Amino acid sequence: MATDAVTPEIKNNDGIRGFGYAMTAYLFWGILPLYMKALAHIPAMEVIAHRIFWSVPVAGAVLLALGGMRDVRAAFRNPRTIAMASLTATLVTINWGTYVWAIGAGHSLDAALGYFINPLFSIALGALLLKERLAPVQIVAIGLAAVAVVILTIKAGTLPWVALSLTFSWGFYAFFRKTLPVGANQGFFIEVLLLCIPATLYIIYLEMRGEGHLYQTGLSDTALLLGCGLVTALPLMIFANGAKLLRLSTIGIMQYIVPTMVFLIAVFLFKEPFGSTQMIAFSLIWAGLVLYSWSMLRQSKDR
C-alpha cells in the first residue's frame, strides 16, 4: 500500500495493483449492508459513535505504518485545514448515520438509489459551483435522475429523503474533501479524530445509563461494535490508495459496483418491496448512468 506522505506519480493508465485495491474496497462496501443489518437492533447513533471511536486506532495504526503522521501534525497547526476537516467530518457523519438507519429500518433500496444518483449529482454540482460546462448528453442524464425522483415523490407523497440525504451528503463531502490540503488517509484520520470526543462522550453516557450495547447485551454485540472500526476505516483507506493508481474513468465505472450489490442484497436477501414504480425510477437512473458513462469514456478517449 503506497504511503500518502509522498505524492505518487500520476498514472495515465490503469495498474493491476490499483484495480485490486479499488475492487477490494468496492466489494467490501457492497456487502456492508449485511454487517449493518446485524446491528439493526442497536440505535443508529450508537453504531455511528462506535464507527468513529474504533476507526481512530485503526486509521492511526495504518498512518504510523506508512509514516504519514507528520502531515497530520502540520494540519492541526493550520486553522483553515481544521475548519474544512470539521465540515467534511460533519457531512460524512450525516452520510453514515443515514446509511446505518436506512439499512436497519428496511430502506436498503433507498440507499442504493442514493448512491446510483450520486455521480449525476456530482456532475450537476460541478456545473453549479465550479462552472464546469455540461455536455448535452450529461444534461439529459441529470434530467432522467430528476424525473425518477419526481416519480418516487408522487408515488410516496413525500420526497425520497433517504436517497437524497445520501446523495447530497456524499456529493458535498466529496466536493469539499478535494479542497482539504492533506492526503486521503491523513484526511480520514483527522476527521475521525475530530469526531472522537463527542462519540466517546456519547458512548460513556449510554453505558453509564445502562442503555449501551458494548458490554451489557452479550458477546456478539461487543464483537460487532468493536469491528465497526475495521469495516469503516480499512475500505476507505484501501480505496484511497487504489484511486491514485487508476484513471478517473475507471473509477467512475467501478463506482456502480457498490449500489448494484446493495440493490441485489435489498431485493433478494432482505426481500424489500420492489414494485412497478421503483422499477420505472431505477430504469431512468440506470439509463442516465449509461449516458453518463458513455460521455465520460468518450471524453477520456478524446483526451
Q: How many CA atoms lie within 13 A of 182 on its CB side?
A: 26
pLDDT at 249: 66
The Cβ of residue 103 has, within 10 Å, a number of other Cβ atoms equal to: 27
Give the C-alpha separation, 30 to 149, whole Å.
23
Report pLDDT for 41: 95
pLDDT at residue 265 greater than cutoff 80 = yes
pLDDT per residue as tens digits for the range 187-241:
999 999 999 999 999 999 999 999 999 988 889 999 999 999 999 999 988 887 7
Tens digit of pLDDT for each residue in 32-48? 999 999 999 999 999 99
- What is the structure's pLDDT at 42? 96
pLDDT, tens digit, 9 for 90 and up, residues 142-183:
999 999 999 999 988 888 999 999 999 999 998 898 888 888
Instruction: Report the C-alpha gap between 189 and 139 in whole angstroms.
Output: 36
For the chain, the C-alpha Rg in angstroms (whole number) is: 20
Per-residue pLDDT band for 116 (boundaries 50, 70, 90) equals: very high
List all residues 6 or more positions away from 299 whose beta carbon is below 8 Å from its beta carbon: 135
pLDDT at site 14: 61
pLDDT for 12? 47
Note whether 37 and 31 are within 8 A (CB): no
Cell matching residue 60? 492511526
Residues 12 and 248 sit within 8 Å (Cβ to Cβ)? no
List pLDDT tens digits, range 5-30: 434 444 445 678 888 999 999 999 99
Q: What residues does each domain of the chain span?
A: 16-302
User: Is the pLDDT assigned to residue 296 strictly greater than 80?
Assistant: no
